Amino acid sequence: MAGERADEGPERHGLRRRAVLPALAALLLPAAACTAPAPAPAAGTATDAIRRLLDRRAAAVLDRDEAACLAVLDPRADALRATVRAEFANLAELPLRSWSYHLTDVRRTGARATVRAELRYRITGYDTAPVATPRALTLAERDGRWYVTGDKAGAGGAEQLWQQGRVRAVTGARSLVLGVGQDERLLRRIAATADRAVPAVDGAWPDSWARRVVLLVPASRRAMAALLGAAEDGYRSIAAVTTGETGGTGATPADRIIVNPDAYGELSDLGQGVVLTHETTHVATRAATTPATPTWLSEGFADHVAYRSTGLTAARIAPELRRAVRRDEAPAALPPDTDFAFSGDADRLARAYESGWLACELIADRWDERTLTAFYRTVGAHPGRAGAVARAARDVLGTTEAEFTARWRDYVRKRLA
């Protein structure tokens, strides 16, 4: 996962992406679901009754049944009912394939209950697995019926796109763009750019992947940060980020590319193409990207794919690293994950991305593209971070990690001298 900075033109996109941690995989999900309440059963537990209630609520969302959506709510909860009514309307253009709740904890005290649940949904034609987000609900039992009295994001959750306004959906040949507060022409241009990014990535990553992307375009940088559950300032120069869980389990949840309309709009057409190609690469490689994968490799490979057909020189793509080389301050080792933090030093962040890009360039140049993808897969398949690069260097490149690092140092100097 990553983000793209927009402050220095297309030649500098290699320096501004941070992996959005797997915990953010769940942050793009629905806020309000719905369904008509049913009388509590004569036998069974409160958990059973609440589960059936939420099942009906989910069915109401899929059936586009607003009355059933509101009927599940406490008749006295005026603010909640108004919120749910608005969110129900905001969801109208979202092509939902599934919507369900998975209970994780139910605590009942008399006629009250607090519930932790995971809301899961899939978009028709795009999601092969659900996206999930935690929800915290409160319920009340009255006259033998349970009603929802409160519904908010659970721990680790965040605001959802449809909570920010009415969602407009634009379908491309290989993309679905969901926007709030954005002109349809902008959404169509983004879809067209994403449609070009998908085949570019497909040509570089031979493994199976969805070959379709879903992009979210909120109204502002502040709205983008809300979707990520993060501080706004950290995304001032970030044009896009990709969210999703890392793979390694065989089942890869759906990814979302979230566009910062403020920063993205400052880029040239070339820059926008680089941004979305980079982010689409993260989508394609998700299943092969695991905790064993160092950030320099995941970000470097995404940059390699994004830049390889642009014709830009190494000096334009890696200006901070070039300055370091000319000061005789070239790095001695590939950057640690901590160097990729958005909140850190901007120049160090730039050099980290540029270093990762040149490491992947070295493999493609000294060996070939197939070897680079094999290296990526082999690193990700390792049971843990320790020894992952060393094993791939030995098994795929036929060298040692130390020798690879030495070759990378020489390569950096030669490409940027």
- What per-residue confidence (pLDDT) applies to 230? 86
> Which architecture characterizes domain 46-157 according to CATH?
Roll (3.10)
- The domains of the chain are located at 3-26+164-416, 46-157
- What per-residue confidence (pLDDT) applies to 44? 52
- What per-residue confidence (pLDDT) applies to 6? 39
- What per-residue confidence (pLDDT) applies to 40? 38
- What per-residue confidence (pLDDT) applies to 253? 59
Residue type at position 195: D
- What per-residue confidence (pLDDT) applies to 66? 97
As a whole number of angstroms, the distance between CA 400 and CA 406 comes to 10
- What per-residue confidence (pLDDT) applies to 85? 97
Low-confidence ranges of the chain (pLDDT < 50): 1, 4-43, 248-251
What CATH number was assigned to the domain covering residues 3-26+164-416?
1.10.390.10
